[in-house]
Amino acid sequence: MAELLERIDPLKQLEVTKLCRNAHLERYQFVSGKLMPGDRVLDIACGYGYGSKILAENASKVVGVDLCKEAIDYARKTYKLPNVEFRVSSIEGFNYPKRFDVAVCFETIEHVKDPEKALQKLYDCIKPSGKLHLSVPNGKYEDGSNQFHLHKFERVDMVCLLDNCGFEVEKEYCQHPFAGTVLKMIKGNNASRDVGNTKSFIDSLPMLPEISAKMYPSFLAGTATQLYYIARVA
């Protein structure tokens, strides 16, 4: 099951639960809604490319990058758009002639051997005052069963890591993908404001039995299963 959830296409794979699809889609829709005209966007670890497609709706240029050649082949075939380019590369090995206004790094840092080195590379890819949108699973609720996750991060861990790499964390959000994928701001202006598809929470209620017993405490306590950061290149 973990292997399936690590790389999916929620726009095409309808067999994936609605809760899981919403969780992935909402992150990209959230970034896309914040893009400015002319923005160049780096979608690192883009997987099958569905997120790059969403970003391309509002970006002038999107470069999707993934280490998996099969995933990039799929992305090039399925999401071929004039303002989207897909490349096979690791984070550390990626090079591009121009810097980006925005970089997106979702559910990735926990997979790499050296998270600090990867974030330093992303820092170098972003223009001064540009933004990084990053999400990670909340390590507080990870039990070590996911063989693909090499690291666990709790809220303070990621803030410190981003700071060490030169980023200034401007806003923090939590996400409850198993409870309707509502992004809730926990640091920043209007910190009590909910952002996201609240209707999906209502729609997903009949599916709540799919939540594992381990997830119920975090759901009931209103504690994030995913952490989401907007950080600026200082």
Evaluate whether residue 158 is within a structural domain: yes
DSSP letter for 8, please. -
Cβ proximity of 84 and 60 under 8 Å: no
- Domain range for 171: 17-233
pLDDT, block means (10 residues), the chain with 234 residues = 49 59 82 95 95 97 95 94 97 96 93 93 97 88 69 85 95 68 58 41 37 44 71 93
Provide the number of structural domains found in the chain: 1
Evaluate whether residue 4 is within a structural domain: no
Evaluate whether residue 153 is within a structural domain: yes
- Listed residue (46, 126, 54) closest to 86, CA to CA: 46
What's the pLDDT at 195?
A: 44
What pTM was computed for the model? 0.79
Evaluate whether residue 6 is within a structural domain: no
- Per-residue pLDDT of 15-49, as tens digits, reads 555 666 677 788 899 999 999 999 999 999 999 99
Evaluate whether residue 8 is within a structural domain: no
Distance in angstroms (rounded) separating the CA atoms of residues 132 and 117: 15
Evaluate whether residue 216 is within a structural domain: yes
- CATH at 45: 3.40.50.150
Evaluate whether residue 64 is within a structural domain: yes
∠ CA 29-152-122, rounded to 5°: 55
Distance of CA 19 to the CA centre of its chain: 16
Distance in angstroms (rounded) separating the CA atoms of residues 153 and 141: 10
Evaluate whether residue 211 is within a structural domain: yes
| Strand partners of residue 134 | 105, 229
